[in-house]
Structure 1
Amino acid sequence: MSEPPAVPDPRDMRVSNDDRERVAQVLHNAMAEGRLTVSELEERLDKVYAAKTFGDLEPMVRDLPVGNQAPQLPVPVTTSSPMPLPNNRIGGRGTSSSAIAVLSGTGRKGVWTVPPTFTTFAFMGGIEIDLTEARFEDPETTIQAFAFMGGIEIYVPDDIAVQVNGTGFMGAFENRAHNQAQPRPGVPLVRVTGLAVWGAVEVKRRKKKRAEIED
């Protein structure tokens, strides 16, 4: 069985002069809004114009809203309605360790087993990861999501706890699932990390179909 192709890290991709200028404009706007002092602006601009990769640029705007995107706030955890315990969610061997879409689309859905670390990489393409019927090799799973001018959608059911901690660089990294952030005994925990560069990573809730509920 051949090894899966290595997943490139978007942080290692080289930036252009236009990329540096876009980041510089974000910094100038932040200074005008009072988010940065003049000295902080000058210090960051020096690093921006010396940057060679997206990994060099990303820390310069990590603590700033980009465009109309406001900084993400933690989603409050509600305990009024207990989460149902999963049914045979944990156990087995991972069936796939990565999903890669380059100028194309791909996904993982249906009945499959997620390994402890699962990597997704979308370059000008789209990926859909559906965990509705998935099992998990370990109680805790990390999904690394990298979207470079592409999109990654991760669907989770109600009986999975999710923690989202990614970075959107001229893009969005959002948790729309509103699942509980802390796991309960027997409930799988999925951590979603990574980077979206001019793209989007979205974690969403997918409810069971009516036909499945009636059965």
Structure 2
Amino acid sequence: MEARDLRVSDAEREHVGRLLQRAVGQGMLSLGEFTERMDTALAAKTRGELNAVLVDLPGMQMDPAYTNVAHPSVVPAPPSGVPSPPGAVVGTPTVATPPVGVPAAGGHPTQQPLVIRGRMSTITRKGRWHVPPALILDTRVGSSTLDFTEAVMQSQVVHLTIDDYCGSVTLVLPPEATADLNDVDSVGGSVSNKVRTGPPYGPLHLVVRGRVRFGSITARYPFGTTLRRMLGS
């Protein structure tokens, strides 16, 4: 049997997912491309199928010589007491986080995205949670609420990529914030934007892209915001 026909494990799929995140951080992939390739990686059954998402990414190809998916700098663990070669990663590699706050060409964020993943579960982010310039929400059959009203932002503009199936996503924005949901594809679902659109001028401008299948995405202000505006408070 050829190496490309060997079956892959969940650990190998997760490792390839980390390599794809690293590629986003280095500007080699857009967030949309990351979402498409992550879908392919999660569905891959063989090493050949998994390698297909990495073949055009320099330095991130799978190495068929290893039992697990390996980065080219991965080497077998040395005997006890023998130091590893400089720069080599022993065993399953960890992906270094790219520099924070370094903009790429075109103004897109280069920081590694924060990935929030859920399967048949309820996800809530609220209070003073830290929000990087890029987020990825990957959910299946569940309910997700991302409340940005008290969140600690690293940038005024936040890029959110959503890949949802049979779920509901609620985005709660602080007053005066704006959102752009025009790049969300909906299949048998709904996308509802109840906040201001337009150029970023408030505390947050949320740029949402991705897809929702048989689910819903709603962007809104906190309950009572409209009434307080009418009363002038």
Q: TM-score of the superposition, structure 2-length normalised?
A: 0.47
- Counterpart of 1:205 in structure 2 is 221
Partner amino acid, structure 1, of 2:217: V
Q: Secondary structure at the match of 2:149?
A: coil
Q: Secondary structure at the match of 1:164?
A: strand
- Counterpart of 1:191 in structure 2 is 207
- Counterpart of 1:149 in structure 2 is 166
* 8 A Cα contact 1:145 1:201, kept in partner: no
Map 1:165-176; keep pairs closer than 5 Å: 165=182, 166-176=184-194
Map 1:52-131; keep pairs closer than 5 Å: 97-131=114-148
Measured against aligned partners, the alpha-carbon deviations of 1:102-154 in whole angstroms (never above 9, x if no partner) come to 01111211012211111111101111100010121122110111211111111
Measured at CA, do residues 97 and 208 of structure 1 come closer, stay the same or move farther in structure 2, by a change above 3 Å?
farther
Measured at CA, do residues 112 and 208 of structure 1 come closer, stay the same or move farther in structure 2, by a change above 3 Å?
farther
Q: Secondary structure at the match of 1:183?
A: coil
In 1: Cα distance, 2:224 partner to 2:153 partner? 18
* 8 A Cα contact 2:35 2:163, kept in partner: no
The percent of aligned pairs where both chains have the same amino acid is 19
Measured against aligned partners, the alpha-carbon deviations of 1:39-86 in whole angstroms (never above 9, x if no partner) come to xxxxxxxxxxxxxxxxxxxxxxxxxxxxxxxxxxxxxxxxxxxxxxxx
- Counterpart of 1:162 in structure 2 is 179
Measured at CA, do residues 123 and 8 of structure 1 come closer, stay the same or move farther in structure 2, by a change above 3 Å?
farther
* 8 A Cα contact 1:150 1:200, kept in partner: yes
| Structure showing greater relative contact order (alpha-carbon pairs closer than 8 Å, 6 or more residues apart) | 1
CA RMSD of aligned residues (A): 3.1
Partner amino acid, structure 2, of 1:123: R
In 1: Cα distance, 2:224 partner to 2:126 partner? 13
In 1: Cα distance, 2:171 partner to 2:164 partner? 12
Partner amino acid, structure 2, of 1:128: T
- Counterpart of 1:49 in structure 2 is none
Shift of 1:208: 7.0
Larger Rg: 2
Measured against aligned partners, the alpha-carbon deviations of 1:5-58 in whole angstroms (never above 9, x if no partner) come to 6486597599xxxxxxxxxxxxxxxxxxxxxxxxxxxxxxxxxxxxxxxxxxxx
* 8 A Cα contact 1:128 1:152, kept in partner: yes
In 2: Cα distance, 1:105 partner to 1:119 partner? 16
- Counterpart of 2:77 in structure 1 is none
Partner amino acid, structure 2, of 1:148: Y
Q: TM-score of the superposition, structure 1-length normalised?
A: 0.50
Structure 1 segments of 4+ aligned residues over 6 angstroms from their partners? none
